Amino acid sequence: MAEKILILGSEGQVGTDLAAQLRSIYGKNNVVCSDIKPATEENQDLGPYEVLNVLDREAIEVVFAKYKPTMVYHLAAMLSATAEKFPRKGWDLNMEGMFSIFDACIDHGVKRVFWPSSIAVFGPTTPRIMTPQHCVMDPNTIYGISKLAGERFCEYYFEKYGLDVRSIRYPGLIGWKALPGGGTTDYAVDIFHKALARNTYTCFLKEDTGLPMMYMDDAIKATINVTEADSNLVQIRSSYNLSGMSFDPKTLADEITRQHPGFTINYEIDARQQIAESWPQSIDDSMAKEHWGWKPDFDLEAMVKEMLHQLQANDMVVG
């Protein structure tokens, strides 16, 4: 049977890249995009699109009945920094949104679901260097708490209802097609736009705040690979640790200056520092490597080169 794919949250940072990649694999009419807001002008004619609120169960029913998806990528969520400002809203969107989509998937016999988790599931007493797959997890942000609860429900829905959910713990994601929205790792995207527009950037994290990061092409590859992997390979039914590279703002700024001479960085620390300090600095993803063959392609140098090139070549710089 031909696949019909539904993406929830397709206008977001991951959704934009994922939709493009899935449409190139499955054909534009076999990938239905949806988001709470109308598609941007550039995305309007790229394939089927529905305005859909993941909290609106009736509207979800209509979309599932109309398109009969075989695979669903549920990306709609509120990220760490925004959820700290609107804790109840963040919790409701992240948890209720997950339940309504998982329940619709069961009701409509969806074959597979992808649900993203995050390094935010870890907390202040988690080992911070090469954080293992299984260890102390005591997230202290609403986003992290919702992601950890969500991971438990991924496993629960798989074991109790047979819903084949796949999940990875995204590190900070860096891409050029779309801007991130409301995360603690957003600086690692903003910095490129400001470097190209003004040659200087004011960073909201301290220069030595190391965090796990990943170039978007690697994140999309991991997302599709884990979702399409044979069932017997996916042995972790909560969510997989995933790693690309790790760096702090100073190391990233030094590499940008090396490739884009004259760039300077300064620092004005805000509340996101506290969130970043509760997260790992690097991640042990050996289980993703062993189980379903995960292998990243981009290191820091390659990622910086690609970001500087693609933002300019595609006229995407937002100053």
Residues that bind ligand AKB (CB under 6 A): 79-80, 118-120, 143, 170, 172, 183-185
Nearer to ligand AKB, 47 or 180 (CB): 180
The closest alpha carbon to 247, from 198, 286, 281, belongs to 281
Minimal distance in Å, beta carbon 239 to ligand AKB? 12
Backbone angles phi, psi at 170, to 5 degrees: -65, 135
* Nearest residue to ligand AKB, scored by beta-carbon proximity: 183
Contact 183, 271 (CB under 8 A): no
Nearer to ligand AKB, 163 or 189 (CB): 189
Query: Crossing angle of helices 187-198/300-313, nearest 10°?
Result: 50
Exactly one of 49, 143, 187, 201 is catalytic; name it: 143
Q: How far is Cα of residue 165 from the mean position of the Cα atoms in its chain? A: 16
State the DSSP code for 31.
E
- For residue 169, give Cα distances in angstroms to 120, 239, 256, 275: 8, 6, 26, 16
Minimal distance in Å, beta carbon 254 to ligand AKB? 22
Minimal distance in Å, beta carbon 79 to ligand AKB? 4
Minimal distance in Å, beta carbon 80 to ligand AKB? 3
Nearer to ligand AKB, 47 or 212 (CB): 212
Nearer to ligand AKB, 79 or 308 (CB): 79
Is residue 143 flagged as an active site residue?
Answer: yes
Nearer to ligand AKB, 69 or 296 (CB): 296
Q: 81: Cβ–Cβ under 8 A, 6 or more apart, which residues?
A: 182, 183, 184, 186, 271, 272, 275
Instruction: Tell which phi-psi region holds residue 204, choosing left (phi > 0), alpha (psi between -120 and 50) or beta.
Output: alpha
Minimal distance in Å, beta carbon 288 to ligand AKB? 16
What is d(CA 104, CA 165) in angstroms, rounded to the nearest whole number?
A: 13
The residue type of 147 is: K
Token representation of residue 245: 């590279």
Beta bridge partners of 57: none
* Active site residue ranges: 143
